Structure 1
């Protein structure tokens, strides 16, 4: 799996973000591109401890499913329900201004990478304690 801490991977992701427009069509799911930008930012904010999320993972989530999702398979499109703190219809951060929201995502990615070099992240709400490498792959 790709790791956002890798500069080549990160450059590809940042390029994709730069090319996003409000008119971009979703690839799957129900969020608009503006909502997805905020959703991705919220996930990074949870990792950094800037946004809280309830812990509801069980033993299976924190072991086998975590390993599979991070190292083997991507979550199947449209099959996984997101946690309420990331759900745009519930507690997710709502879009405000598309360009500002994009810039916030870029900034939070850089902050995430810096933290991975010098510190640790909070526990994932479903997968529990994760290494910086695991967070980098999941991000």
Structure 2
């Protein structure tokens, strides 16, 4: 399984982030590139317990538990327009700067990868419920990969 505890994959993800540029075209969704990078940073902060979104309500929380084994069972990428927690969309597009958001995301990834399992949140994921550190690492890889693919890298 691909995860952000693997130094080779961390380096690959960071190289892909560096290939993004202001003209990178969005393939789906409606966030700007800078907003998307800020959203990915928020996801990393959630994985590290800096942000603790509230649990999704019924029936989403039950669906999350049911599909959890599928999401963590293979390396299949996340689907386009997958749902996400509202707390991870706080970035105001007028306040987002591409280079600053890029640097913050890379710093968050480095922090997560360096600290490893000890930095992972014990707070339940809003959709999937409780996650083990390895599951956080898999989910963070899939999440960042999903948004890099959204912008063609």
TM-score computed with the length of structure 2 as normaliser: 0.77
Q: Which runs of 5+ in 1 are unaligned?
A: none
> Does residue 38 of structure 2 align to residue 35 of structure 1?
no
User: Deviation digits for residues 81-123 of structure 1, max 9, x if unmatched?
Assistant: 3221123xxxx22352211111000001111123324343232
* Map of 2:84 onto structure 1: 82
Q: Is the contact made by 1:42 and 1:93 (CA closer than 8 Å) also made in structure 2?
A: no
Distance, in Å, in 1 between the alignment partners of 2:49 and 2:134 is 17
Partner of 1:85, secondary structure, is helix
- Verify the 8 A CA contact 2:45 2:108 in the aligned structure 1: yes
Flag as ranges the 4+ runs of structure 1 deviating above 4 A: none
Which is worse superposed, 107-116 or 118-127? 118-127
Tell me the number of residue pairs that the alignment of Structure 1 and Structure 2 aligns.
Answer: 133
Matches within 5 A, 1:1-139: 1-56=1-56, 58-62=61-65, 64-72=66-74, 73-78=76-81, 80-87=82-89, 92-94=90-92, 95-121=95-121, 122-139=123-140
Two-structure CA RMSD over aligned residues (Å): 1.8
Contact map agreement 2:112 2:119 (CA 8 A) in 1: no
Aligned mates of 1:29, 1:60 — CA distance in 2: 22
Contact 1:22 1:98 in 2 (8 A): yes
- Larger relative contact order (CA 8 Å, sep ≥ 6): 2
**CA distance, structure 1, for counterparts of residue 26 and residue 72 of structure 2:** 23
Question: How far 1:44 sits from its partner (Å)?
Answer: 0.7
TM-score (norm 1): 0.84
